[in-house]
Amino acid sequence: MEQKIKRIGVLTSGGDAPGMNAAVRAVVRTASAYGIECIGIRRGWQGLITGDFVRLSSADVGHTLSRGGTILFTARSEDFMTEKGRKKAVATCRMLGLGGVVAIGGDGTFRGALELSRLGVPTVGIPATIDNDVGCTNYTIGFDTACNTAIECIDKLRDTMQSHERCSIVEVMGRNAGFLALYVGIAVGATAVLVPERELNFEKDVVERIQDSRVAGNTHFMIVVAEGVGSAVEIGKRIKEEIGIDPRVTVLGHIQRGGAPNARDRETATRMGYYAVRAFAEGRANCIICTQEGGIVEIPIEEALAMKKHLQMIRYEIMEATQVGSHITV
């Protein structure tokens, strides 16, 4: 008969995302329901190396569902990238008597989880990143809240842009993925959206869109730029040089990571946390908890890391077609 798991660890790693605390809460409380003790590992994988941990009870995670950030803190660990560091992490797991570790984060976090599993420590991953760029899952915790934060900021910027008849360039997060920029761009009715997945044709994608919008009667313009495309400041300079408009540039930066998670992120995080612990309780591990077609599925870590997520370019076509001055050539 398989021995029942007695104790698990939980950590958050990489960039923080709204809803991480909700996931930690769900892990702790579900573990308690299964009679499993939970240890919080602070500061990500680095905490496993340095022995930075805290025992977590159901009471300890009370009133955390609505909190942004992560109560366990997060950090990127160069030490964990080394064989020596990973062996220290395994030694900490053995010392604490951990039967497994729940790792909450993105692809980098899951690569760490894979390495730990290869050294004999069972792991389960929960996808949490505002970029929504984890290939194996339709949705990652934090994306919807980050989108709404950006939308709220842009709506306020639009008020002053309309008053002064100006062009606003807003840079949102997304170094390698444009999911956030495109989603937000559609939601705010942006004049143009620039994403890293689509090669930039400045004349067509920016200049002509502003000109067409102006001819159609618009006196203010909103350009949403994913940070991976390039500097919003430089794009602003180029607009001024080529069109003569003096744009105002706003870089939203880390404000997108903060704030209370919205309903979708709280609910998704809670479901994922529950399924992560249930996997351990039922003798399964070394997988990522993913959303697919509205449900929750478990995908082996190696298989999950090999999966790619592509930007739905039909969304880009929708964005272009629904703007003033747009036209479709058939």
pLDDT tens per residue across all 330 residues of the chain:
356 899 999 999 999 999 999 999 999 999 999 999 999 999 999 999 999 999 999 999 999 999 999 999 998 899 999 999 999 999 999 999 999 999 999 999 999 999 999 999 999 999 999 999 999 999 999 999 999 999 999 999 988 888 777 899 999 999 999 999 999 999 999 999 999 999 999 999 999 999 999 899 888 899 999 999 989 999 999 999 999 988 999 999 999 999 999 999 999 999 999 999 999 999 999 999 999 998 999 999 999 999 999 999 899 889 888 876 666 554
Q: Catalytic annotation on 205? A: no
Q: Is 277 in the same domain as 246? A: no
d(CA 182, CA 151): 11
Q: Is 203 in the same domain as 137? A: no
Q: Is 89 in the same domain as 111? A: yes
Does 330 map to a domain? no
Q: Is 153 in the same domain as 253? A: yes
Q: Which sign, positive or negative, has the C-alpha torsion 207, 210, 212, 215? A: negative
Strands (E) in the chain, as ranges, are 7-12, 37-41, 53-56, 101-105, 123-127, 167-172, 192-194, 221-226, 248-251, 287-292, 295-300
Find out whether 138 and 291 touch, Cβ atoms under 8 Å. yes
Q: Is 237 in the same domain as 112? A: no
Does 125 map to a domain? yes
Q: Of 2, 55, 46, 4, whose CA–CA distance to 28 is shortest?
A: 55
Does 318 map to a domain? no
Q: Is 117 in the same domain as 40? A: yes
Q: Is 110 in the same domain as 201? A: no
Task: Using the structure block, give the residue that is written with the tokens 């444009």.
Answer: 178
Q: Is 244 in the same domain as 297? A: no
d(CA 189, CA 222): 8
Does 45 map to a domain? yes
Q: Is 44 in the same domain as 125? A: yes
d(CA 26, CA 33): 10
Task: Give the CA-trace dihedral at 188, 192, 197, 199, to 10 degrees.
Answer: 180
Write b or e for each residue in 111-129: b if 16 or more Cβ atoms lie within 10 A of its Cβ, otherwise e: bbbbbbbeeebbbbbbbbb
d(CA 269, CA 27): 9
The domain in which residue 216 lies consists of 145-257
Helix, strand, or coil (residue 234): helix
Q: Is 23 in the same domain as 35? A: yes
Retrieve residue 67's tokens: 């909190």
What is the number of other CB atoms lying within 10 angstroms of the CB of residue 281? Answer: 17
Q: Is 12 in the same domain as 154? A: no
Helix, strand, or coil (residue 38): strand
Does 112 map to a domain? yes
Retrieve residue 4's tokens: 């029942």
Does 200 map to a domain? yes
Q: Among the options 52, 131, 133, 205, which is catalytic?
A: 131
The domain tally of the chain equals 2
For residue 111, give the CATH number of its domain: 3.40.50.450
Q: Is 137 in the same domain as 46? A: yes
Does 290 map to a domain? yes
For residue 211, give the CATH number of its domain: 3.40.50.460
What is the arrangement of strands in the sheet containing 101-105, beginning at the earlier edge strand? 53-56, 37-41, 7-12, 101-105, 123-127, 287-292, 295-300
